[in-house]
Amino acid sequence: MDASLHDNAAWAGASPDLSVLIPFLRDDPTELLALLEREAVTLGGRVEIILLDDGTADAALTDSLVMTIDGMSLPVRLITLSANRGRSEGRNRLAEAARGASLLFLDSDMRPDHDRFLTVWADLARDQAPAVAFGGFSLLQAPDDARFAVHRSMAVRSDCLSAGQRALQPEKHVFTSNLLVRRDVFETEAFDPGFSGWGWEDVEWAMRVSRRHQVVHLDNPATHMGLDTVESLAAKYEQSAPNFARVVARHPDFVCAYPSYRVARKLKAVPGLRLIRPLLKQTARLSFLPTSMRAFSLRLYRTALYAEAI
């Protein structure tokens, strides 16, 4: 058996409309659980939480989480996998365990920006039941350390957008960090386990879904606490390049409108790009340079990776 289950006392008798699905790997979701628990009385049993430990293999963390879950009023199930199964398969496993008619995918490093976060989602699921809806995210509560300055600059520019801005390219601005999906939609369009590493599996999923369903954007944000250093972010971009190529092959009609693709096509023709690329990453590391210059250099590094992949 590759998974163990633990349910709290509220789980068995619950009949939820909304299932909050939280995957994690080596993170401790206790703080997020405490923030969600604030709404337990207001929600009146309409919402359940399902956690999936994707192979952390930390008995102390598991024991601590079990104690936290057992003290919660919200119905909670913890699924602990014996080995890592990856982002796509993990989310598919969460959906299989859910009982609600709507699924809210929420990353473990997110923090609701207000104390009616779950209530807004539960009301939307009950009253409108959208096929897909993304609430957006912010950096309001994220650490302001200098080592995260480049990631913060990049995220503010491209990710922390209003609902109106996101709606201009609705499939592009969909991330599983704060995403509502109706169960019947997810049952016909699950995440592709063929994606490995980091990046693009959620956008590719949204591209498929948007061909048949409306993707709704609203302002119900949560803070993304997991800012990265330049080195960590560059490593993620390196993982994401094959995934980007997979998306290009499957959805050229969408991707051709993305600036990252258009620039990558131009960079592909630049002689010696493979020799230039490490210099771009090194420039992004230089803390004495202006943050805007470092962020531009890291964006160009990512695009150079994509140029070699497509």
pLDDT band at 27 (very low <50, low <70, confident <90, very high): confident
Can you tell me the distance from the alpha carbon of 285 to that of 200, in angstroms, rounded to the nearest whole number? 24
Helix (H, G, I), strand (E, B) or coil at 147: helix
Q: Which fold does the domain 3-227 belong to in CATH?
A: Spore Coat Polysaccharide Biosynthesis Protein SpsA; Chain A (3.90.550)
pLDDT digits (tens, 9 = 90+) for 188-223: 988 888 887 788 988 999 999 999 999 999 999 999
* Domain residue extents for the chain: 3-227, 228-310
pLDDT digits (tens, 9 = 90+) for 267-303: 999 999 999 999 999 999 999 999 999 999 999 999 9
Place of tokens 């699950």: 190
Strands 137-138 and 18-24: unpaired
Can you tell me the distance from the alpha carbon of 137 to that of 135, in angstroms, rounded to the nearest whole number? 7
In the predicted model, is pLDDT for residue 163 greater than 90? yes
Q: Per the confidence metrics, is the pTM higher than 0.95? A: no
> CB neighbours (10 Å) of residue 146?
9
Can you tell me the distance from the alpha carbon of 61 to that of 30, in angstroms, rounded to the nearest whole number? 10
